[in-house]
Amino acid sequence: MSENQPTYFNELNNEQKEAVKTVNGPLLILAGAGTGKTKVLTSRLAYLLYSKAAHPSQICAVTFTNKAANEMRQRVEKILNNSVAGWWLGTFHSLAARILRSNAELVSLKTTFTIIDTDDQIRLLKQVISAKNIDEKRWPARSLLAIIQRWKDMGLNPNDVKNSFHAGTEFANNQSIHLYKLYQERLIALNAADFGDLLLHVINIFKNNEDIRKIYQKKFKYVLVDEFQDTNASQYLWLNILSLEHKNLCVVGDDDQSIYSWRGADVNNILNFEKDFKTTKTIKLEKNYRSTGNILESASHLISHNKNRLGKKLWTDDDMGNTVNIRTVYDGHEEARLVSDEIESYQRKNTTLNNIAILVRASFQTRTFEDRFLKIGMPYQVIGGLRFYERAEIRDAIAYLRIIHSPDDQLAFERIINKPKRGLGNVTLSIIEKYARSININLELATRKLYETDEISSKAKRVLKTFIKNIDRWREIKNKTKLNEFLEIILEESGYTEMLKKDRSIEAPGRLDNLKELVNAINEFESLSNFLEHIQLVMDGNSNENHETIKIMTLHSAKGLEFPIVFLPGWEDGLFPHQRSIDENGSEGLEEERRLAYVGITRAKNELWILNATSRLTHGQWVDCIPSRFIEELPKDNINHLSLFQDNFNDFQSSIASNWVKNNNPSIQIPTDNKNLKENNNFKLMERIFHQKFGYGKIMEIDGDKVTVDFEKADKKKLLLNFIEKIS
């Protein structure tokens, strides 16, 4: 470029300029967290116009979210000082819908087709399931929807799905493929498409209509894609088809931030890009404009343990800043207290609450922080989801407790009488409500009277009688059973837990975790009435949407955001990395968990806190926790670790040992010098050992200071070496 180069070039570093000016051929911009990828993408789009390489109508710029698309539009308009209305700049779904509107008849739709939402999808699938005389209770429509969505993300039509190869085909005794076909036929008959169809239909149009395909291939001289690491198979195929003519496909992404495999994203799309496009030029953006040196060193060191990555290391011109704070605490309550204490300390230094975020691995973790903040009057906001006690499954469980506590609680009765579904129709429910109003009694008493009459069907009478009988029994045992056990009994006997276990949607495991956390929460109260009073206070307070608040969210929700101060609680093996992810996906699952940890660390600009507890309350029982392996993978020179309950212990292992001794066997003497521990480590695989708590077992795996032991009476356990004894 000459001295006439655009003014926005002055804001770019050398690597960013190179990415902007590389016009022709496939281009992979490997952009680390905080390296200005959005600036590069928008600047490149502007440069294509400035250099007269393309007209606006010849550029297709794709993002994942409407928010990102709007941000890109605003930035380009600011650079060009001109409107971008009518440009092909938007989300995958919006651009695909635009193409589909113009060619709808090729997939048997009209141009006026409707795009249906999730509720309509479920309603339609229920009709399809019912028409085939399939028990929807056993084979929920929501589960089938999750299966179909995954197939569409993979670019599969009903005829493409193979029984022996694709997961989900076993649904409803191997009827899922046929149900998928019937669902698609119903959509066509209704002149409707779901979100998955938008891309799938366009791909089918391109595959089956060469003339249409070539029109769009010639039209789009340049294709630009943001967040490429999050693309699924269908999106990647769509992009490949569009860019086949000119081969000017520019993708911006970060393989180290690929964290959405659970919703179809495939990290291999970015890992294999250079193989798929042989002439690819790769440019790495590694200069970070967000975080301090210590935070970046920690993130880079952690992610380097992943094998499947293209490789880069973030750096900054700024100073190292404070070291990363790692704190080991007794339990979740102390964890919440520590965080609140530190936040109050920041407040005294004039830090605003809007600058502080708590990022959790699982949504159930928000509960202890919410309770703590409500207790001390600290305003907070849960981002990307509901507050703990506002979540549907929590409200349902509490409704059961409310009606047991108070028969006059009409709203609670209405909420749970048919949840989970018991086969009660609207007619039956209407009869109950009308009868209750006519003689001015509550719904429960009306139900008791009606199931003794012929006003309702025999099936409904049986269902209602069983329901009332359960309520009576629960009231009888209420004061004879521990609160946590009492709630577990209700969830099991009502069928609520079983309902969620059968639900194959991606949300179901998290909903189950939330209920487990509610069981933990109720255990903290002396009586049911005290707990319900607490819930009422929680629900009535803390509406802080328009005020300065602490931000609480999951790590997945935090992607793309940044905060001066970040807290990362719950860094224990099993919680983070999450055991479910490892169990289901093995080493790939572990690597994605590590990428999620990397995302969490790189959200922090100035201060980062990582916390782990030595014990957690699970189902009313205290469970010993092992520090997350990710903590051990952080660089020692860039962290400051303190154990808040044993100052003379300087490592994670001794912290755990201390807590275990305190709770289980005070007579055992734990060495305070970890060096001696390692020197005495001469255990061997398959060696028989003894553990004070779990008894005799054999060593199945040795990993540093940890061992996996198959106990004779306690199954497999992962333990620290200082807990086991040799058998002479």
- Chain mean position to CA 305: 22
Per-residue pLDDT band at 589 (split at 50, 70, 90) = very high
Per-residue pLDDT band at 619 (split at 50, 70, 90) = low
- Ranges of beta strands (E only) in 302-427 are 324-329, 356-360, 380-382
pLDDT in tens, 59-85: 999 998 888 888 888 888 888 888 888
Q: Quick one: pLDDT at residue 66? A: 84
Q: Quick one: pLDDT at residue 675? A: 38
pLDDT in tens, 387-412: 899 899 999 999 999 999 999 888 99
Find the mean pLDDT for residues 541-554: 76
Nearest to 514 by CA among 647, 665, 386: 386
pLDDT in tens, 500-541: 988 878 888 999 999 999 998 998 888 898 898 888 777 765
27-36, 687-696, 710-719: which is most confident: 27-36
**Kind plus residue range of the DSSP H or E element containing 464:** helix 458-477
Burial of 550 (0-12, 13-18, 19+ CB in 10 A): buried
The better pLDDT of the pair 323, 429 is held by 323
In DSSP terms, 624 is beta-bridged to 615
Residue 276: half-sphere exposure toward Cβ, Cα within 13 Å: 19
- Residue 518 CA to residue 367 CA, distance in Å, equals 8
Helix, strand, coil percent values for the chain (each to nearest 5): 50, 15, 35
Q: Quick one: pLDDT at residue 456? A: 84
The better pLDDT of the pair 149, 662 is held by 149
pLDDT in tens, 9-26: 778 999 999 999 999 999
Backbone angles phi, psi at 141, to 5 degrees: -60, -35
Find the mean pLDDT for residues 170-188: 94
**pLDDT at 586 > cutoff 60:** yes
pLDDT in tens, 664-679: 443 333 333 443 333 3
DSSP per-residue letters across 226-285: SSGGG--HHHHHHHHHHTTTT--EEEEE-GGG---GGGT--THHHHTHHHHSTT-EEEEE
- Residue 290 CA to residue 56 CA, distance in Å, equals 32
Contact partners, residue 599, CB within 8 Å, separation at least 6? 33, 257, 259, 555, 558, 559
Q: Quick one: pLDDT at residue 693? A: 63
**Kind plus residue range of the DSSP H or E element containing 28:** strand 27-31
The better pLDDT of the pair 670, 578 is held by 578
Share of the chain above pLDDT 70, in %: 91
Place of tokens 């281009």: 27
pLDDT in tens, 108-144: 999 999 999 988 999 999 999 999 999 888 899 999 9
Per-residue pLDDT band at 460 (split at 50, 70, 90) = confident
- Residue 41 CA to residue 254 CA, distance in Å, equals 14
Query: Which pair of tokens denotes residue 321?
Result: 């800043």
Residue 665: half-sphere exposure toward Cβ, Cα within 13 Å: 11
203-217, 491-505, 685-699: which is most confident: 203-217
**Which residues are the active-site residues?**
37-38, 226-227, 257, 603
**Cβ 309 vs Cβ 55: under 8 Å:** no
Burial of 621 (0-12, 13-18, 19+ CB in 10 A): exposed
